[in-house]
Chain A
């Protein structure tokens, strides 16, 4: 049985079928972007192990790519491959393995988000575009804030969130990818606290433009044995965060995009934009920044096609915000991709492999053509 599975996993047919299925996924995923949006489509078809088509579970992009990787690596151990005349094929296989390993690293470890900096201020945090987190912030100390942050993968109904330094427990009651607030028509139950005393958090259809989605969360605080025990709700983008007081400590509760703290800071000195003449359409914009590391500032200019690369991050000039009073804010897209170089290197390796294979096969080809 085990040998049969291994034989199947190392069969060249599996690679061909996987490749065909991958093509179908690319077509379906691309077309579905129109209806469900880029991010949802990426999650459903490419970043999933399985997805459902009606009631039928089908393999998603990750499982297909994993199968292809296992298949390629397994083929490398076939004895009849290790011959001098197949050196080109071996190198092409190695290039393929490297490409898939790079894809895996990108899928698992890469992150992308935005950095929003007002002119004259600095920032060292990147807000993820898609992933949210629940931040419980103890603001009682006069010198610092203490953050207890719970990531989106933990937002499963009934899941208990706790931390040894927190004086209470949190139970997730509901998480919504896109939510809205609606006023209550009847008085709420006595267990509700904060805005849930007067409002209800209601899930609405996910917008295909992910930037328009406002996640919401309903959770219960228990174990403090104070009046703060109860059911709370938060919606992403609340300008006024919810607060609770427990045993003389004041906590701010916030549903926010996942924050990554950088070991350096970026200060926006000046933002410049050039408009197309006679229009309100931006022709180009750039950010004149100070890259501050170990308290040493280094001036850098980030332009639309000239990103800043530093410490594995790439900062692109993505957008800008202009307030009615004329204050400018830059929006930088921050991308960290550990697998960034893999496609280039593997393409070179595969090209070398194909070239070698062609050179090795050439004498035979000539012989055949002479005959």
Chain B
């Protein structure tokens, strides 16, 4: 009987005590490129210069063919697809914020809004060439197409940086888009 009691005890200890997971781990690995711009060191960022305009190109962005209006185009991958990023340079203010933002809104079937509303929904960022405004445009009826765009006015030119991507992609790429815009300089 004593054997049986010990057997039972041993079985219970094994059943309760066995665990294959060390749930918290700490280790060091050789440096890996996470595709982000590091704040301490710019060694990993790849600076690209096109038409006297420079930017830090995030890892994984692939130059693509755009139409002639575009200064540059990139395929921007995210977890379930690829977004299209364009950089366009136009002289002066090129129709102004209102016309351009409402044109983009129209591309994803959103109604036009007023200039005050546009300024309310935009965020401001700072690039090497000055401040820019970022606009996020999402239509809940069309999850496959959303737009995040930045307008960067300089003295005699305005730069339009626009990323067209699914809503999922917008969520994933928003911060890297903002970092990219911040890196733009001359």
Which applies to chain A's interface (DSSP): helix, strand, loop or mixed? mixed
Most buried by B among A10, A139, A146, A245: A139
**Which residues of B sit under 8 angstroms from A182, Cβ to Cβ?**
167
Which of B26, B60, B77, B168 interacts with A147 by CB under 8 Å?
B26
Q: Does A2 contact B (CB under 8 A)?
A: yes
| A6:B171 contact, CB within 8 angstroms | no
Q: Does A74 contact B (CB under 8 A)?
A: yes
Q: Does B47 contact A (CB under 8 A)?
A: no
Given A144-B29, A146-B28, A194-B175, are A239 and B78 also a contact pair (CB < 8 Å)? Answer: yes
**Which residues of B sit under 8 angstroms from A248, Cβ to Cβ?**
40
- How far apart sit A163 and B79, CA to CA, in the bound complex (Å)? 30
Query: What mask results when residues 68 to 92 of chain B are scored 1 for a CB within 8 Å of chain A, else 0?
Result: 0000000001111000000000000
Given A149-B25, A151-B21, A154-B24, are A239 and B172 also a contact pair (CB < 8 Å)? Answer: yes
**Which residues of B sit under 8 angstroms from A245, Cβ to Cβ?**
39
- How far apart sit A245 and B175, CA to CA, in the bound complex (Å)? 14
* Contacts between chains A and B (CB distance < 8 A), count: 142
Shortest C-beta distance, B45 to chain A (Å), equals: 13
Residues 170-193 of A at the B interface (beta carbon under 8 Å): 180-183, 185
What is the number of residues of chain A that contact chain B, defined by CB distance less than 8 Å?
Answer: 59
Given A108-B19, A240-B172, are A70 and B7 also a contact pair (CB < 8 Å)? Answer: yes
Q: Does B49 contact A (CB under 8 A)?
A: no
Given A108-B18, A144-B31, A181-B168, are A239 and B60 also a contact pair (CB < 8 Å)? Answer: yes
- How far apart sit A94 and B170, CA to CA, in the bound complex (Å)? 60
- How far apart sit A195 and B176, CA to CA, in the bound complex (Å)? 11
Residues 146-182 of B at the A interface (beta carbon under 8 Å): 146, 167-168, 170-176
Residue of A nearest to B168 (CB): A181
Shortest C-beta distance, B103 to chain A (Å), equals: 20
**Which residues of A sit under 8 angstroms from B51, Cβ to Cβ?**
none
| A109:B20 contact, CB within 8 angstroms | yes
Instruction: Kindly state the interface size class of chain B when it binds its partner.
Output: 35 or more
- How far apart sit A241 and B43, CA to CA, in the bound complex (Å)? 19
Most buried by A among B31, B136, B168: B168
| A238:B79 contact, CB within 8 angstroms | yes
| A147:B15 contact, CB within 8 angstroms | no
- How far apart sit A290 and B2, CA to CA, in the bound complex (Å)? 55
Shortest C-beta distance, A303 to chain B (Å), equals: 30
5 cross-chain pairs, A with B, having the tightest CB-CB distances, nearest first: A237-B79, A151-B23, A181-B171, A199-B171, A183-B138
Question: Can you sample 30 A-B contacts with CB below 8 Å?
Answer: A3-B1, A62-B15, A77-B4, A108-B18, A137-B34, A139-B38, A140-B40, A142-B31, A142-B41, A144-B29, A148-B24, A148-B25, A149-B24, A149-B25, A150-B23, A151-B22, A181-B168, A183-B170, A195-B175, A198-B136, A235-B79, A238-B79, A239-B60, A240-B78, A240-B172, A243-B175, A250-B38, A250-B40, A252-B36, A261-B27
